[in-house]
C-alpha cells in the first residue's frame, strides 16, 4: 500500500504526526523540553499556521501539506501581517525555493521566499534555512 492510496484526511493526519515528531526533536540539548508552536487566527476568518520554528533570531512558519498542492491562504496572510521574509512548505514535491508575490484574501500584498521541502528533509530545516539566509 502506498500513502497515496489512503484517504486525504488520513494522509493529512499522518503528515502532521510524522512532521510534528521531527520538529519536536530538532534542537536537543537546548536546555528546554522540545515544544511545538503554531499560530491560529482569533476572530474573523478561521486560519492557522501548522508550526512555527525559530532559526537563530527569526521565526519561520511551516505549512504542512500531505500532497503536492494545496491552498496557503493563512500562510500568505501571516507573512503579510508579520512582514516575514521566509516560510517553509512541507509537501511531496522535490526541494525548491520560490519567490512569492501574492495578494491575500483580504487584499494585502505578501512578498516572501518559500522553501519547499519534502517531509524526509524536515529534520534538517534549521540547517537549510540558515544556508538560505547566508
For residue 47 the three cell numbers come to 486560519
- Percent of the chain beyond pLDDT 70? 80
**What tens digit of pLDDT does each residue of 22-42 get?**
777 665 544 455 566 767 777
Mean pLDDT of 83-109: 92
Between 9 and 102, the higher pLDDT residue: 102
Nearest to 37 by CA among 56, 18, 24, 28: 24
Q: Which residues contact 97 (CB under 8 A, 6 or more apart)?
A: 113, 114, 115, 116, 132
Q: How confident is the model at residue 49 (pLDDT cuts 50, 70, 90)?
A: confident
Residue 79 to residue 57: CA distance in whole angstroms: 16
Strand-strand pairing, 58-64 and 51-55: antiparallel
Q: Which residues contact 9 (CB under 8 A, 6 or more apart)?
A: none
Residue 62 has pLDDT above 50, yes or no: yes
Between 134 and 74, the higher pLDDT residue: 74
For residue 90 the three cell numbers come to 512541507
* Model pLDDT, residue 86: 95
Amino acid at each position: 500500500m502506498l500513502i497515496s492510496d489512503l484517504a486525504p484526511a488520513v494522509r493529512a493526519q499522518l503528515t502532521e504526526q510524522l512532521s510534528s515528531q521531527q520538529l519536536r526533536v530538532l534542537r536537543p540539548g537546548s536546555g528546554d523540553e522540545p515544544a511545538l508552536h503554531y499560530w491560529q487566527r482569533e476572530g474573523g476568518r478561521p486560519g492557522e499556521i501548522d508550526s512555527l520554528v525559530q532559526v537563530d533570531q527569526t521565526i519561520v512558519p511551516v505549512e504542512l501539506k500531505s500532497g503536492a498542492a494545496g491552498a496557503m491562504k493563512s500562510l500568505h496572510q501571516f507573512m503579510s501581517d508579520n512582514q516575514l521574509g521566509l516560510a517553509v512548505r512541507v509537501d511531496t514535491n522535490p526541494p525548491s525555493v520560490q519567490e512569492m508575490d501574492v495578494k491575500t484574501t483580504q487584499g494585502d500584498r505578501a512578498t516572501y521566499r518559500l522553501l519547499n521541502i519534502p517531509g524526509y528533509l524536515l529534520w534538517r530545516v534549521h540547517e537549510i534555512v540558515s544556508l538560505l539566509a547566508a
